[in-house]
Amino acid sequence: MGEQSIMSVQTLKKRFGGVVAVSDVSFEMRKGEILGLIGPNGAGKTTLLSLLTGFLRPGGGSVHFQGYDITGRKPHQIARRGLVRTFQMTTVYSNSTVEHNVLKGAHYRNDVGLWSALWGRNGTRGRKERIDREVAQVLNLFELKEWMHEDAGGLAYGHQKALGLAIALASKPSCLLLDEPAAGMNPEETRWIGDVIRKLNDRGISILLVEHDMKMVMSLCDRIVVLNYGAKIAEGSPAEIQTNDEVIKAYLGDEHVDS
Amino acid sequence: MLSQALLSQVLLNALTAASMYALMALGFNMIFGILRVINFAHGEFYMLGAFFIYYLFGLLGVNYFLSIILAGIVLGLAGFGTEKLLFHRLRHDEIRSMILALGLSIALQNLGVIVWGPEDLSVAAPTSGIFQLGQVIVPKERLLVVVCAVITICAFYLFLGNTKLGLALQAIAQDEEAAKLQGVNTKRIYAVGFGMGTALAAIAGGLMGPIYSLSPFMGLLPLMKAFIVVILGGLGSIPGAILGSLVLAVGESFATTFLGSSASDMVGFLLVIAILLSRPAGLLGEKEA
Amino acid sequence: MTAKVAGSVVIGVLLIVWPLVFPEQFYINVAILILLSAVMAMALHLVMRVGYLSLAQAAFMGMGAYTSALLTTRWQMPFIVGFVSAGILTAVVGYLLGRILFRLKGVYFVLVTFALGEVVRLCFIAWDSLFGGANGITGIPKPSLLGYVFDTRLEFYYLALPLTVASLWFMCRVFLTHPGRAYEAINESENLAESTGIDTTRYKVQAFTISCFFTGIAGCLSGHYLSYVSPFAFTFWQSVDLIIMNVLGGPNVLAGPIIGAVLLVPLPELFRSAVEYQRALYGITLILIVCFLPDGIAGLAYRFRHKEGSRSDG
C-alpha cells in the first residue's frame, strides 16, 4: 500500500425511522484515485454520499478528510475543505446563464463581507481575475463556451449534466463525489463524460464515482466499493469485483426482484 | 373552585369547539397532505358553508340535515373546480400556491362583504331545548352539532380506509411518486382531495352557523384553529388532527378562564412555533420540491 | 448607461419638486404612505429573493413602531434615538430569530413566521402595561433632528424621501454585489449552493436581518407620522399586503415592490367608501397575477422591451 489516504470513513451509520440505510460502512480513499461506489438500487449509495458531504447527519461513525474530522459538519464547510459532491437531480441553476452557473460555483472563493461588498470591494483585483480565468478554463474543459450566455435551463440534458460537473469543479475541489454523472445519457455522451472524469483525475482530483453504467465504472475506476442493503459487501480492483461471489449474488438477486 | 356543573359545562363547550376544529383540521390537512398547499382560503369555505345553511335552512326552510349535506356537496364541487381552474397551474410551487390561496381568501371574504354586508347575521337553531343530565345542562343544539361532526368524521375515516378513491388519496399523501407508479391518476385526485377538504370546511361552517353568528369574516378564527391543530397533531395525520382538536379545545377553555383570551391564543401559537422548530427533521424529512 | 443615469436624475428631480408645484395635503399624504410601504415591501422582497416568504413582516414593523414610540413618549428620548433603536433592535431580533427560523424551509418557514406574527401581535394587546393594550400608544412626537421639527406633511415627505432612496440604494448594492449572487444561488437551488461552499444559512439570516432593519425603521417612521401606534395596524393582513405589492409589481426584481407600492397604496386613499370592493379586487388581482403573470408587472415590462418574450418559467 503506502499510498496516501485522502478520506477515511469509519463505521458510518444512518437509519431513517426503523430502516437502516447505511450500516457500519468503512473504507479508505486514496489520494488521486478514482474509487467506484456501486450497488443495486436502494443499496444506500446516495445516502452515503450525503453523509460524507454533510447533507445528512450520520447516526454514528466518522469521516476524516485530509486529516480533518468532518463528521457532522455542514455541507458548505466540507465543500470549503475541498470535498464537493454533485447531484443526480438538481444539477444546475436553471434560470442563470451558463457562465453565471460556473461563477456561482466559484462564489465562496471570492468571499467578501457584506460591508466590503457594498462599498464595491469585490475582493482583490488579482483574485477576481484569477477566478475569471478559471471559469473560462472550466467552460472550455466541458465544451460549454459557446452556450456561455444562454440560460442553463434551456441546455440539452447532456450539457446540463456537464454543467453540473463544471459548477462543482469551479469550487476547486481536491476530491469530487459524483452521483451518477452518466445517468440518462446516450453511449456517446457517456464516453465523453468518462473522458472528462479521466481528465479531472489527471489534474490530481480524487474521484468517488457512483454509477450504474458498469462499463464506465470498470474502465475508469482504480478500485471499487460495493454496497448492498446499506452495508459494504466487497472492495477491490475491478477484476476482483467482477468475480466476487457476494457481488454477483447481490446483483442477480436484484435483477430477480426487478423483473 | 370550579363546581362539577360548571366544569361539565366548560367541557361541553370545549367538545363543541373540538368538533369544529377537527372538521376544519381534517380538511386543511387533506389539502396540505395531497397538494402541499397551505390553504389560507379554508376559513372562507367554512364561511360559505354557514351562509349556504343561512339560505337553504334559515330562509327556504329546507331540512337541516339535507342542507348540511348539500352544503358539503356544492362547496366540495366548488373546491374541485377551484383546484382544476387555479391551483393545478401552480403544481409543486408551494409558495405561489399559498399566495394564490391568500388571494382567494381575500377575494371571497370581501365578495362576502359586498353581498352580505359586514354585520353579523344569524340562523335559527334547528332544535332548541335542553337535556338535563344530573346537574349538567346540555343544550340540544350543541349535542346535535357534536353528533353530526362525529358522524361526518367517522364517514370520512371509513371513506379513506375502505374505498378505492380514499386509498388513492392516502397513497398520494404518503408518496406521490410511488402512487403515480402504481397507476393512480394523480391529476384528478388532486382536485378530489381539494374538494373533499373544502366540503369538510363547508360542513363545519354549516354546523356552526346556527350556534355562532354569521359574517364574512367568520372564517379567520377556524382557520387559525385548524392551523394550530394540524401542527399539534402532525401534518397529514388523521388521529393526530382529532386528538389535537380535543387537546386544543380543552386547553383553551381552561387557559381562557385563567389567563384571558389573548394569552390563551398566544399559548397556542407559541406551541406551534415550538413544535415546528423542535422537530425540523421530522417535518423536513419529506422531499423538498 | 448614461440614459439610465439621466433617467434617475429626472425622476429624482421630479420627486423633489412636485410637492412644491402641487402642495395639496392629500397627495403629499399619499406620497408619504407610498414611500413607507415601498421600504417595507422592498424589505420583504429581500427575503423573497432568497426564496423565502415571511408572514411576520407586520410584527417587525410593529416592533420598530413600538420601540420608538415607547422611547420617545415614555422616556422622552429624542427622535433620533428612537429611530436608530427601532432599526437596531428589530434587526437584532431578526438576526436571533433568523438563526432559529431558517432551520425550516418552504411552507414550514411561512407557517412559523405566521405563528410568530400572531404571537407578537397578541403580545402588543395582552401586555397592556407596556404596550397600552388595544389602545396602543398615542401622542408620539413628530420627528426632529438637531432641534428642527418635521412638523408638516411636506417636511415629513422630505424626511421620508431621502431615507427611502437610501434604502433603495442599499438594497440595490446588496443585489448587485457578492451577497446578491449568493441570494440568487440560494433561491435557485439551496442544495447546489451549499454543496459548492456557499454558507446558505449565513446569507439567509443576513437577508432576513437587513429586511427586519428596514421594516423596523419604516414602522418607526409610520408611528411618528401618524403620531400613534395601535396593535391593529400590525395584523397578518398587513404582511399579506406587502406580499401583494411584491407579487403584483414583480417578485424577481427590486423595481417590483416599488411598482406594487405605487399602484396599491393610493387605492384605499382614493376610494375610501368602497373598501370591500377594493379588497375584493386585490384578491382577484392577486389570483390572476400569480396564475398568469408570474413575473408581475415588471416582468411584463421586461417582456415588452425584449419583444421575443420567450422566458418561460417552470
Which residues of B make CB contacts under 8 Å with C?
36, 38, 86, 89-90, 94-96, 98-100, 102-111, 113-114, 118, 224, 227, 231, 260, 262-263, 265-266, 269-270, 272-273, 276-277, 280, 283-284, 288-289
pLDDT for the residue B287: 33
pLDDT for the residue A257: 43
- CA pair distance A113, C95, nearest whole angstrom: 16
Span C235-242, mean pLDDT? 90
pLDDT over threshold 80, residue A89 = no
- CA pair distance B226, B17, nearest whole angstrom: 11
Span A225-253, mean pLDDT? 85
Which chain A residues contact residue C182 at CB under 8 A? Answer: 107
Q: How many CB pairs under 8 A join B and C?
A: 127
Cβ–Cβ contact C277 with B under 8 A: yes
pLDDT over threshold 70, residue B109 = yes
- Band (pLDDT 50/70/90 cuts) for residue A143 is confident
Which chain C residues contact residue A118 at CB under 8 A? Answer: 170, 173-174, 177
pLDDT for the residue A259: 35
Whether A105 sits inside 8 A of C178 (CB atoms) is no
pLDDT over threshold 80, residue C309 = no
- CA pair distance C109, C103, nearest whole angstrom: 8
- CA pair distance A48, B41, nearest whole angstrom: 42
Which chains have 3+ CB pairs within 8 A of A?
C
- Calculate how close chain B gets to C149, using CA atoms only, in Å: 38
Nearest to C41 by CA among C228, C284, C249: C249
Over the stretch A10-55, which tens digit does the pLDDT of each residue have? Answer: 999 998 877 888 989 999 999 999 999 998 888 888 999 999 999 9
pTM given for the model: 0.88
- Band (pLDDT 50/70/90 cuts) for residue A254 is low
pLDDT for the residue C245: 92
In Å, what is the CA distance from B38 to each residue of A93, A201, B31, B110, C113? 27, 47, 7, 20, 13
pLDDT for the residue C269: 77
Task: Compute CA A41 distance to the chain's CA centroid, rounded to the nearest angstrom.
Answer: 18
Whether C287 sits inside 8 A of B86 (CB atoms) is yes
Report the chain A residue with the minimal C-alpha distance to residue C210: A114
- On average, the pLDDT of chain B sits at 84
Nearest to C294 by CA among C239, C241, C252, C257: C252
- On average, the pLDDT of chain A sits at 86
Whether C198 sits inside 8 A of A92 (CB atoms) is no
Q: At what angle do helices C200-226 and C57-73 cross, to 10 degrees?
A: 50
Q: How many CB pairs under 8 A join A and C?
A: 96
CB–CB of B122/C134 below 8 Å? no
Which chain C residues contact residue B110 at CB under 8 A? Answer: 276-277, 279-280, 282-283
Which chain A residues contact residue C168 at CB under 8 A? Answer: none
Cβ–Cβ contact C308 with A under 8 A: no
Share of residues in chain A with pLDDT > 70 (%): 91
- On average, the pLDDT of chain C sits at 89
- CA pair distance A85, A76, nearest whole angstrom: 11
pLDDT over threshold 60, residue B60 = yes
Higher pLDDT, C61 or C104: C61
Span B17-27, mean pLDDT? 91
pLDDT over threshold 70, residue B163 = yes
Which residues of A make CB contacts under 8 Å with C?
53, 55, 74-76, 79-80, 84-87, 90-96, 100, 103-105, 107-112, 114, 117-118, 120, 122-123, 151, 153, 167-168, 170-171
pLDDT for the residue C310: 44
Span B162-170, mean pLDDT? 86
- Band (pLDDT 50/70/90 cuts) for residue C1 is low
Which chain B residues contact residue C250 at CB under 8 A? Answer: none
Over the stretch C188-226, which tens digit does the pLDDT of each residue have? Answer: 999 999 999 999 999 999 999 999 999 999 999 999 999
Report the chain A residue with the minimal C-alpha distance to residue C174: A118
- CA pair distance B220, A61, nearest whole angstrom: 49
- CA pair distance A230, A233, nearest whole angstrom: 9
- Calculate how close chain C gets to B288, using CA atoms only, in Å: 8
User: Highest-confidence range of B79-83, B168-172, C15-19, by mean pLDDT?
Assistant: B79-83
- Band (pLDDT 50/70/90 cuts) for residue C87 is very high
In this structure, what are the phi and psi dihedrals at residue A174, rounded to the nearest 5 degrees?
A: -100, -15
Nearest to A117 by CA among C193, C181, C50, C179: C179
- Band (pLDDT 50/70/90 cuts) for residue B139 is confident
| Test mutation, A74, A107, A116, A171, chain C, max C CBs within 10 A | A107
- Calculate how close chain C gets to A51, using CA atoms only, in Å: 12
